Amino acid sequence: MAEALIRLQHLQENARLIRKKAGVPLMAVVKANAYGHGARETARALLAEGIGHFGVANIHEAIELRTCGSLKRPAAILSFSSPLPSQIPSYLEHGIEMTVCDPATLRAAEAVASGAGATIGVHLKVDTGMGRLGLSPAEAKQVLQELPRCPHIELRGIYTHFADSSFDRAFTRKQLEAFRAFTGEYEHASGRRVLKHAANSGAILSEPDATFDMVRPGILLYGCHPSNDAHLRLDVKPVMQVEARVVFLKTVTAGTTISYNRTWKAAGPRIIATIAAGYADGYHRSLSGKATVSINAITYPQVGTITMDQIMVDLGTESDVRVGDRAVLFGWDGMRAEELASRAGTISYELLTSVSARVLRTVV
């Protein structure tokens, strides 16, 4: 009975703020079902806002967006993952831009495209310090030197990813300078400009020099900040609000314990509300006894161990709450996702993407 309300107007307003801050076009990151918000609806709303580039985790996410009609050509979709050889034909079939992280992938892509008499658009990934995907600048240079021998490959961009753009500014600048030097050398030697992108949400806020030709906002689009640094803020609004219904009310006496392991005991007579949401909906068990919910604009503490399908809330000794009332677990009318995630010992990215498939998404 939990429901995730998705306010696409907030998403579009956030996109405008980010674009104004960065001063360059956006590649909207809509991987992981748009951070739990619903990739199809999110992509359509951002496309209507004039965004023409989208980033996803893998070819499967890309195909879903392309075939469902949300992102028809010419909207560009870049898959961030390094492809398996067997996946390359799908990039060609659906017009998906491919990340190239090694010479073998470049050669395999050329062979597939040549056989089809077509062209595959690629973005070269340079590893400047993330240590996840991509080639070192020296190795990436070798790949670029192979490009003239790959007539069916179109280089559409060069990019890197920052490892710690919200906290370690010195390391981020080191990555930034390595990327700038690499792309500058290539553009000078080749006599051509190439689309360069590096800045994620953290770098959009912390490193004005990292914007290059395009930025890749993710968490910021959805109304959350990548860190709690008060200086790295933008007036973005939450796009998701998770609510659930009060399904049961009871009055307990002093000494009554609530939920598994009896971790909470009533100090006196209390009214306890049971709410139909639990860790199977994405409301982390680690929040037990640490969270609050909002019912009818009043904040109440969650008590006892969070269970798979329900949580319990202490309403005090008097309450106007009734069965069927809506409880806001987090969102624009309640605790923000960043704060709730912090109490759970995690980050807003994980909290949002943990909202499970059984939680109904409703666009409002």
Is 250 noted as a catalytic residue in this protein?
Answer: no
Quote the CA–CA distance of 106 and 108 in Å, as a whole number. 6
Contacts of 153 (CB under 8 A, 6+ apart): 106, 109, 110, 113, 119, 120, 122, 147
For the chain, how far is it from start to end, CA to CA, in angstroms?
17
Q: Would residue 265 show up in a list of annotated catalytic residues for this protein?
A: no
Q: Are 302 and 313 in contact (CB under 8 A)?
A: yes
The sign of the dihedral angle between the CA atoms of 262, 267, 270, 276 is: negative
CB-CB contact of 56 with 78 (8 Å): yes
- Per DSSP, 231 falls in state T
**CA–CA separation, 275 and 311 (whole Å):** 5
Question: Are 220 and 201 contacting, i.e. CB atoms less than 8 angstroms apart?
Answer: yes
Given the residues 20, 31, 35, 91, the one annotated as active site: 31
The single residue of 72, 174, 250, 260 carrying the catalytic annotation is 260
Sign of CA dihedral 216, 219, 225, 226: negative
Tell me the β-bridge partners of 294.
Answer: 299, 328
Distance set, CA 217 to CA 15, 62, 267, 318 (Å):
9, 17, 47, 45
Report the candidate in 116, 110, 113, 216 with the shortest Cα–Cα distance to residue 157: 216
Residue type, 196: K
H helix intervals, 162-200: 169-190
Indicate which residues carry an active-site annotation. Answer: 31, 260
